[in-house]
Structure 1
Amino acid sequence: MSSFYSKNRDKLFNQLPDNSLAIIASGEEHIRNRDVEFAFRAESDFFYLTGFSEPDSVLFLIKQQQNRAALFLRPKDPEQETWQGRRLGVESACKTLQVDQAWSIEELDEQAVVLLENIDSVFVSFAHLPQWSESINSWIAQLKQKVRKGISAPSQIRDLDKLLHEMRVFKSAEEIKRMRRAAQISVKGHLAAMRAVLSSDYEYQVQAALEAEFMQQGSPRVAFNSIVASAENACILHYTENRSKIDRNALVLVDAGAEVDGYAGDITTTFPASGTFSDEQASLYSLVLKAQQAAIKVIKPGVSYDSAHQATLKVLTTGLVELGILQGSVDELIAAEAYKAFFMHGTGHWLGMDVHDVGEYKINQQWRDFEPGMVVTVEPGLYISAEHRDVDAKWHNIGIRIEDDVLVTENGNEVLTFGLPRTVAEIESWMATHR
């Protein structure tokens, strides 16, 4: 599988100018409390280019007469490995990861000065520039002392994100394969949550069933902190406490995704804890589903990214007027953003290695068009908390979001997260069967 990562490096080399060097780091382990570390996950850009998951690793991509990939990583250390796990080691790095050169991370400062000789531009993520500034300044200062030997130092520091993150917007066949698997494992987890809610008293019990299914299916970790929100908690967009007792008469909103081979799934399901929707719940749920279907329908190459959001706004605002929750002209309400009281977020986001994946949404201040290989979430919602005192109380504490992962294809789109009951009738029937 290392050829997949070397192909990604080749794509980046093609974007880099001659006599340039790019620096990408895996990241460091961080203490959670006392001497307990957070579980380590390599930075997505680094993993995209190496497939390597160890902390304290740095990749240098050097474009001069020929392209070279140089990796700095932790050396083998039998004592440390006894305590903390196996390391790849310098000797195995070139063959295993298909890089050209490998050194111990302890040699970074020494070798970096050599690698930067006669380089014009250094590319580094400006998001990580503060942690690199001191080292880069030191390396450049050392090179400037060699000017009498005919050696030049870099004269530009440039942002790598513009190049690398635009590449990551478009998924290759291998990435799509991984995302299909992440999507389908995420589907299985959400089905497990729907089964679990029928016999669970607390949100965390549903979360346990959801995440256990992810792991049973081969996912090593969640793509983001799972949301299991019942009743009024569903009106909190990023609710992650998951500790409340489940109201049997309320809806449960689950927003969660599995990570597989470095790629994220992202699904939101909303379903009744009892297995049966009330009339008000069914009305709002069907409205959100109608908005989602309208948004998905417009996604195809050549259509503006914002078109999905505009389709959502039209359906939701029209429905809110029909239900008596908003009053007035639909077009005027949209222009006034009256819907934001109940739908305050966008309709989706890029999806890939990161759940909110990298990449520009606008080009030259204009919404970009969908193109084949893009993957986007589609997630309209409605949230009517008891704080909306001007809304009939029968709608209070209903929070609904419906989210799927959608791949833009040559001729339209493909919903990766297929297999979930989505209509009111489908959900009630499925939950009755699995009671």
Structure 2
Amino acid sequence: MSDDDVQQTSSRSQRPASSAFKDFMGSSWAPASGELPGPDPAAAYAEQRRRRVSEAFAGQRVIVPAGPLKTRSNDTDYRFRPHSAFAHLTGLGVDHEPGAVLVLEPIEDAEHEAVLYFKPMAGRDTEEFYASAKHGEFWIGPRPTLAEFQARLGITARDLDEFTAAAGKDAGTVGIRVLRDADPQVDALIDAARSEHGVDAEQTAQQDSTLTQFLSEMRLVKDDYEAGQLRESAAATISGFEDVVRALPEALEHARGERIVEGTFFARARLEGNDLGYDTIAASGNNATVLHWIRNTGAVNPGELLLLDAGVEVDSLYTADITRTVPVSGTFSPVQRRVYEAVLAAADAAFEVVRPGAKFRDIHTAAVRVLAEHLHEWGLLPVSLEEALSPEGQHHRRWMPHGTSHHLGLDVHDCAAAKRELYLDGELQPGMVFTIEPGLYFKNEDLAVPEEYRGIGVRIEDDVLVTQDGCENLSAALPRTPDAIEGWVRGLRD
């Protein structure tokens, strides 16, 4: 039964079913241009990434699904976003390949042929052209043809209908590795093929896990294309922050001013990119002390601080992740400035660590030590500074409970499946991109601090690219110092 066959049985369907209608709908359409596009900018880089996978899994079939559409409500879906590993190995972004699968098929000399399986656009002479709400051009617009994808990506493109036979072929003699949990139907298909050929389930589960880990670790070091995309994402995000500051007067007048902030940034994300990289945190006042405040239902009140944590995902699906904390009225109060300057000092200390050869975990250590020193100076620690910093203490983490850095790329928390020794315990290398984001969060209900601190949450987050001799701050165009922040807010609002 086709997608729209189901719709035809519903009470809301009113499409004509006459032969005359079908004949008329299939006629008098302008022919396609027939011209093939040139290679995508990412194609050569994606080929190099696939070569690394081929070398690591010689002689084995590697299957990387894009993933299916996900239902939002009843018969409506979320906008499609492919799995990040699929995007990384094909160079495809945006939303035109739901259900697609990349297969690296082993051939001679320990090499692979890359094959992209996807459902091609139905011809205009078919009923699906106007009848299928999931695949019909009349409903969702044009999609690339098999030939166009092959020209753009430099890989073989085949109809998705051929995937089932190809995926499980010779499952008893050819090792198969699949990126699991990206597409349940693909998982089930491979499991059935393995079971039919008596392949050990426990062994293959470990092999699939190894593939997932490898594909995540591949992204720890970005190539030149990826670095360029992250610069574009940061630039678009900075524009969105400027939009938000201009919208603060409107936010101050609305009962749910945080929604004004959220909506303003979202407009920029859709204007310059594909979408948000993650749900925006638009937190004013005490909401800024909630680390993942994404409800954004609160008011924006004069005298409060607004913590905005947001990122634009560009069409290639690379995202920025930037935070600034700004005084809504344009000026920090003395205690707000005191907290802000402590967080800034911690961020600056973390930046000093970043250079090739340094340990990733040292970034966090440098930042939290500075925060602990300020908390001690303010008399907030219940123990000595050194006792708080000891593994047995950690009292300062009450007000900075999260990590200072995470890798950034196709996922906002990129490379999450990488081994600990390559992530937290790993050495920094040129091409790595990550955040530096210390913060201090004093909740209204926190009786361990004087009243003047309560309801203040401050985070400063920048996106950092490791270079040969240090680092590049991709978000440096946004003000960071309190004086610069105040001038920026007042200047954009005036």
TM-score norm. by structure 1 comes to 0.91
What SS class does the counterpart of residue 225 from structure 2 fall into? helix
Residue equivalent to 1:152: none
Residue equivalent to 2:219: 168
CA gap 1:304/1:22 in 2 versus in 1, 3 angstroms? same
CA gap 1:116/1:75 in 2 versus in 1, 3 angstroms? farther
Please tell me the root mean square deviation across aligned C-alpha atoms, in Å.
Answer: 2.2
- Residue 321 (structure 1) shift: 1.3
The amino acid across from 1:215 in the alignment is: R
Please give the alpha-carbon distance, in whole angstroms, between the structure 2 residues aligned to 1:63 and 1:111: 12
What's the CA shift string for 1:330-370, capped at 9, x where partnerless? 11112211012111100010001000001536218971111
What's the CA shift string for 1:102-124, capped at 9, x where partnerless? 332223222223375741x2222
Number of matched residues? 422
Please give the alpha-carbon distance, in whole angstroms, between the structure 2 residues aligned to 1:395 and 1:305: 31
Residue equivalent to 1:372: 430
Residue equivalent to 1:108: 163
CA gap 1:41/1:364 in 2 versus in 1, 3 angstroms? closer
**Is 2:65–2:182's contact at 8 Å kept on the other side of the alignment?**
no
Residue equivalent to 2:50: 9
Residue equivalent to 1:32: 72
The amino acid across from 1:40 in the alignment is: F
- Residue 15 (structure 1) shift: 2.1
What's the CA shift string for 1:227-276, capped at 9, x where partnerless? 10000111111111112111111100000001112101000000111011
Please list, as runs of the form range in 1=range in 2, the aligned pairs for 1:419-434 lying within 5 A after superposition.
419-434=477-492
Please list, as runs of the form range in 1=range in 2, the aligned pairs for 1:5-404 lying within 5 A after superposition.
5-16=46-57, 18-52=58-92, 53-65=96-108, 66-77=111-122, 78-79=129-130, 80-100=136-156, 102-114=157-169, 116=171, 118-119=173-174, 121-128=175-182, 132-140=186-194, 156=204, 158-159=207-208, 160-201=211-252, 202-216=257-271, 218-260=272-314, 261-335=316-390, 336-359=393-416, 360=418, 362-363=420-421, 367-404=425-462
- Residue 127 (structure 1) shift: 4.7
Structure label with greater radius of gyration: 2
What SS class does the counterpart of residue 168 from structure 2 fall into? helix
TM-score norm. by structure 2 comes to 0.81
The amino acid across from 1:354 in the alignment is: D
CA gap 1:10/1:351 in 2 versus in 1, 3 angstroms? same
The amino acid across from 2:398 in the alignment is: A
Please give the alpha-carbon distance, in whole angstroms, between the structure 1 residues aligned to 2:190 and 2:301: 56
Relative to its length, the structure with more strand (as a share) is 1
Q: Percent identity?
A: 33
The amino acid across from 2:450 in the alignment is: D
Please give the alpha-carbon distance, in whole angstroms, between the structure 1 residues aligned to 2:262 and 2:420: 36
The amino acid across from 2:433 in the alignment is: V
CA gap 1:233/1:290 in 2 versus in 1, 3 angstroms? same
The amino acid across from 1:10 in the alignment is: R
Unaligned 5+ segments in structure 1 are 146-154
- Residue 49 (structure 1) shift: 1.2
Please give the alpha-carbon distance, in whole angstroms, between the structure 1 residues aligned to 2:439 and 2:233: 23
What SS class does the counterpart of residue 405 from structure 1 fall into? strand
What SS class does the counterpart of residue 376 from structure 1 fall into? strand
What SS class does the counterpart of residue 62 from structure 1 fall into? strand
Please give the alpha-carbon distance, in whole angstroms, between the structure 2 residues aligned to 1:7 and 1:23: 17
Please give the alpha-carbon distance, in whole angstroms, between the structure 1 residues aligned to 2:478 and 2:149: 42
Q: Give the ranges of 4+ consecutive aligned residues of structure 1 lying more than 6 Å apart after TM superposition.
A: none
Please give the alpha-carbon distance, in whole angstroms, between the structure 2 residues aligned to 1:117 and 1:98: 30
